Structure 1
Amino acid sequence: MPKIIVKLLTAGLLIASSMGNAQTLTSIVLDSATQKPIPYVTVQLKNKGMITNEEGRFTFLLDKNVKPTDSLIISCIGYETIGKPINQFAEKTILLRPKAIELKNVIVSNKQYTAEEIIELVNDNIEKNYSSDLTKKRLFFRKSSFQRMNKTDYTLKKSTIAAFNKKFIDSVIQTVPKSNSYYTEVLGDLYGNYDNEKQKFDLIKASELYDKSMEVDLEKLEEKFNKIIKENIKTDSYFKIKSGLFGTKVDADELFDNEVDSTDVAALNKELEEKKKNEEERKKNFARYRRNTLGDIFNSLPIREDTYLNFLSKSRRYEFTLKDFTYMGNDAVYVIDFKPKRSEDYRGTLFINSDDFALVRVDYENVKSVKSFKLLGISMNTYLSKGKIIFQKEADKPYGLRYFESEIGNRMGIKRPLKIIEKNRHVKGRNKQNELSGNIDLAFTSIDKNEVVVFETEQIAPTNFEAFEENNSILPTYMPNYDPEFWKGYNIMEPNTAIKEFTSQGESVK
């Protein structure tokens, strides 16, 4: 067999091993010296981009327009860029070599800038480096939420309803999950610019990953509670709910769902129509909420003026230190640390292109609680706020967002007396019927993580933006555990190990 045919067959087998049946390229990027995964590496194929996850993994969908000779470019700050045809990526592991620093190549002018001068040049060039034109962005948005109950203490002082005893309250506390995780993933096209009022969203596909059995437990608890109330309260009763200084009146009828007679066809049709209406509204709200969240993310970028990440727009409030030089591909990059001079919230590191003074990456974290609230036994403390943002330039186009990550952590607590009193309008004399009173002391922690990957961006005309109408009729598909087949045929950010291994309790006992 001629050598050229052998080479072609070998190349074909290598491509197939990388691409698989779904025509994808899957790999993990490692540091060649330490053999450790490199997170947030940019992977570029033609006009599309990808980012490795925190474990250094990525999967790139190769569509029918991709040729084996098309170059895949892999770059990361501080490492040598790799660029070669796809058919040469035969291994499941890609090694990046740390790039040595040559200061003479970094200092490209006769003047050695101070950190403050560099930041000033960044601000002077924002309009040139980042376009505010209308665009269509194909993106993937993942939201991960984690909750943990830290304290569930209570004291039962009085209960005139025998069923509302310590045993019942203990069962209520046991029903409340001690920890819970929720993931939602969304793929779609975001139309607009950085202005919240100039955003439209075309939802393509979405999923929800969480333990549904916890919802079922709460429904059963509500049924049990309603049954006890119905068996013990009098007709025309109402409740006074007191907690400290405040009181709330609730009619007994408000505690129960309206029951529909199964023989009443008109009532059943009305209920079905209402459910259909609610379903349509839920679809609109799901897409609308994601669009608004994405709008808030783009509006919060540090290149914007009115942003809480104000270390550029309010640079005089921060202290900057030029710490190092490095490379992002062949571009020399200034590495500048920042911290607040007085009362600002964040510190971190800026990576700034030494040629055009564009901010290409920022890593930030809070130095103190971002928000705190405490009043009458109710407290909330935003103790964690950190993230990273990566911008990338394509050819002669302006810089655009490639990756956004934020992580927000809150601690919340309720430490208050609680009293529920049943009263009746038609009972003569003292109208108090039953009473439940005690003290509650609850504390829990929540962490929300947002990740956005922008795969490709194309500029659109204002007329096209105005003509586009949102028609989001898609609801997320529920998954009790992660299904890799769900996103087959689509580019997404590779899930981490926690997502891949997530299993609902209801599924695990089957």
Structure 2
Amino acid sequence: MKFNHRYFFFIFASLLASNIYSQTVSGKVLTASQEAIPYATVQIGESYGVITNEEGLFSIKTNDFDDNEMVRISCLGYESVDLKLINFKSQDYTLKEKVNELSEVFITNKPLSVDSIMFYVNAKLKENYRFHLNEFKIFSRKTEYIVGENADFEITKSTGFRKKQLELFNTDFDKLETSLLNNNSKQYTDFIGSLMILDDSQAKLKVEKAIRLLDERNNQSLESLAEKGNDIVLKHLDKDKIYTVKTGLFKISDSVSLDNREDKMADTINSLGHIRTKSFEMIMNNALNNSNNRLDFISETKKYNYELKDVTFIDDEMVYIIDFKPKRSSVKYTGTIYVSNETFAVIRADYRFYKNRVGEKLNLRLLFGVKYVEKNQEGIVAFKKDDDGYYYPSFINEQIDRYFYINRPFKFIENSNTSNKVSFSFKIEGTFKEKTELLILSRNEIETSTFNSYKELKDVDYETPKTYDASIWSDYNVIEPLNEMKDFKIPVEEY
């Protein structure tokens, strides 16, 4: 076959052009000691950029920018790296730590006390922050998994059932116990959408693209465990008959048909309202000018102790570094806030539960065999000043552990023959671990009429690939996945 030089040149030129004009630059941001710097900003021009993930990794699309456009890699407490786009390559980038001393900064200026700084922070909240009538384009990533501590599902009493049938019951229950205690899989839910905020209580969400990485075989949510328990009951009881279901002293239903159950779990998971509520709550819980926000260490200054630890700089702006911890047992958080010397806006807050503090809890262990406790909550919220002079969230990270304990007896009684019944105990204990990251990609002001005219959909149409694919978000600037997410793969035999 004759070699076509013109065709080869065309292909080569096309590939070269594609590499130049549709390039994605990936890399890692490190300290001088080669430690990863999480949540550093990689920005092209005035407002286009991404942040590094917890491993310091980033990917950013560079097409549509001129070779002479400036790239800035920056993070609080470090000297920025500035370079032209033509020199911005896929590689590691090192940021040098900025060393500052309070005494040096205030040689010619009398330093403000930490109480004065916090006074000005609160006095300028309405001046610095605004959330109403804004549309935020957001990228959200949720990571969930369960750490099982104890599980015991067992038939305790039965009449009208064969011995073999009960053995099969308990065999399936044993498998469910093992899957809970030995499962190490995680599930990931990503989406990009536009969140329109009208006021403190109303928001609408339009989802542009949504991905779920989940091995259904290893799904260990409470909803999934309940479904699996129901499946075992369905498998071994007569699905053509109607049963009365009792738990403890309470009758929860007297007309349960095992063959006509609604898939309520799927309805909840795929509900757009579910993820809209979560995203809206994340923003409003971190809205410092919202009286109902969760971050009370800003407004409840009489309940916290504050200490001015140091100062640093972000670009040319001086930033106070203030540590805080509870003064009273009624408050929960400890951490660090970073306050602009120019505007007294909090531009970042790192917080976590103080030792022995917990969030919502319910303890009916002795009466109903149920206990629930929110533990180990921690978070990061970063704000960025926009052209209108207000600060808006640029990134929010929330993590929380939810301890649960359920120990309940269940009894299925056949309605047509009440002598046929089966009783089993359901005991489960563990911790749900959840991390949610929210990256604000852009912001636009909206009119009330725009909000009112948009009709929100009811469900989200998730893509559910069987393995992680780097091209999933190739058209967007999102948070680079952690390596554990990149390794996600459902074994072929489980497809």
**TM-score, structure 2 normalization:** 0.84
Alignment match, 2:431: 445
- 1:308 deviates by 2.0
Alignment match, 1:300: 285
Separation of aligned partners in 1, 2:302 and 2:28: 41
Alignment match, 1:459: 445
| Identity across matched positions, percent | 28
Separation of aligned partners in 2, 1:461 and 1:394: 19
Separation of aligned partners in 1, 2:268 and 2:230: 26
Q: Is the 8 A contact 1:18 1:24 kept in 2?
A: no
Aligned partner of 1:200: which letter? K
Q: Deviation string for 1:438-487 (max 9, x for gaps)?
A: 44331121011110111222333444444444468751100222111121
Q: Deviation string for 1:42-97 (max 9, x for gaps)?
A: 12222223111001111112242x11111112211110012221112235111111
- 1:172 deviates by 2.5
Alignment match, 2:472: 486
Aligned partner of 1:448: which letter? E
> Alpha carbons of 1:501 and 1:218: their partners in 2 closer, same or farther (altered >3 Å)?
farther
> Alpha carbons of 1:302 and 1:251: their partners in 2 closer, same or farther (altered >3 Å)?
same
Report 1:339-350 matches (<5 A).
339-342=325-328, 343-350=330-337
Q: Is the 8 A contact 1:18 1:25 kept in 2?
A: no
Aligned partner of 2:169: which letter? F
* Unpaired segments ≥5 residues, structure 1: 1-12, 259-273, 425-430
Aligned partner of 1:329: which letter? D
Partner SS for 1:173:
helix
Partner SS for 2:312:
strand
> Alpha carbons of 1:306 and 1:206: their partners in 2 closer, same or farther (altered >3 Å)?
same
Q: Is the 8 A contact 2:247 2:408 kept in 1?
A: no
Alignment match, 1:256: 259
The question of 1:54 aligning with 2:54 is answered: yes
Alignment match, 2:10: none
- 1:386 deviates by 0.7
Q: Is the 8 A contact 2:306 2:322 kept in 1?
A: yes
Q: Is the 8 A contact 2:153 2:174 kept in 1?
A: no
- 1:418 deviates by 3.4
Separation of aligned partners in 2, 1:155 and 1:133: 53
Separation of aligned partners in 2, 1:75 and 1:187: 25
Report 1:182-197 matches (<5 A).
182-192=187-197, 195-197=200-202
> Alpha carbons of 1:417 and 1:202: their partners in 2 closer, same or farther (altered >3 Å)?
closer
> Alpha carbons of 1:465 and 1:256: their partners in 2 closer, same or farther (altered >3 Å)?
closer
Q: Is the 8 A contact 2:28 2:57 kept in 1?
A: yes
- 1:167 deviates by 4.5
Deviates more, 1:215-224 or 1:333-342: 215-224
The question of 1:319 aligning with 2:319 is answered: no
Counterpart among 472, 477, 484 of residue 498 in structure 1: 484
Q: Is the 8 A contact 1:52 1:493 kept in 2?
A: yes
Separation of aligned partners in 2, 1:309 and 1:144: 23
> Alpha carbons of 1:468 and 1:72: their partners in 2 closer, same or farther (altered >3 Å)?
farther
Q: Deviation string for 1:186-211 (max 9, x for gaps)?
A: 112222356231x2322111101010
Separation of aligned partners in 2, 1:417 and 1:201: 41
Report 1:85-484 matches (<5 A).
85-101=84-100, 103=102, 106-107=105-106, 110-154=109-153, 156-160=155-159, 161-162=161-162, 163-175=164-176, 177-178=179-180, 179=183, 180-192=185-197, 195-197=200-202, 199-214=203-218, 225-230=233-238, 238-243=243-248, 245-252=249-256, 254-257=257-260, 286-301=271-286, 303=288, 304-342=290-328, 343-367=330-354, 368-375=357-364, 376=367, 377-394=369-386, 397-424=389-416, 432-470=418-456, 475-484=461-470
RMSD over aligned CA atoms reads 3.3
Deviates more, 1:413-422 or 1:35-44: 413-422
Partner SS for 1:101:
coil
Q: Is the 8 A contact 1:79 1:329 kept in 2?
A: no
- 1:323 deviates by 1.5
Separation of aligned partners in 2, 1:444 and 1:500: 26
Aligned partner of 2:285: which letter? S
- 1:344 deviates by 0.8
> Alpha carbons of 1:147 and 1:432: their partners in 2 closer, same or farther (altered >3 Å)?
same
Alignment match, 1:75: 74
* Unpaired segments ≥5 residues, structure 2: 1-12
- 1:285 deviates by 5.9
Separation of aligned partners in 2, 1:382 and 1:20: 49
> Alpha carbons of 1:500 and 1:358: their partners in 2 closer, same or farther (altered >3 Å)?
same
Q: Is the 8 A contact 1:194 1:295 kept in 2?
A: no
Separation of aligned partners in 2, 1:473 and 1:248: 29
> Alpha carbons of 1:153 and 1:286: their partners in 2 closer, same or farther (altered >3 Å)?
closer
Separation of aligned partners in 2, 1:285 and 1:61: 30
Q: Deviation string for 1:98-149 (max 9, x for gaps)?
A: 1121546744984322222211110111122223452232221111111232
Q: Is the 8 A contact 1:318 1:341 kept in 2?
A: yes
Q: Is the 8 A contact 1:210 1:481 kept in 2?
A: no
Aligned partner of 2:413: which letter? I
Q: Is the 8 A contact 1:392 1:400 kept in 2?
A: yes
Q: Deviation string for 1:245-291 (max 9, x for gaps)?
A: 32333325x22128xxxxxxxxxxxxxxx99xx9xx96996333222
- 1:298 deviates by 1.3
Q: Is the 8 A contact 2:30 2:93 kept in 1?
A: yes
**Rg bigger for which structure?**
1
> Alpha carbons of 1:509 and 1:191: their partners in 2 closer, same or farther (altered >3 Å)?
closer
State the aligned residue count.
Answer: 462
Separation of aligned partners in 1, 2:478 and 2:44: 14
- 1:153 deviates by 2.1
Partner SS for 2:342:
coil
**TM-score, structure 1 normalization:** 0.82
Q: Is the 8 A contact 2:143 2:186 kept in 1?
A: yes
Separation of aligned partners in 1, 2:226 and 2:79: 53
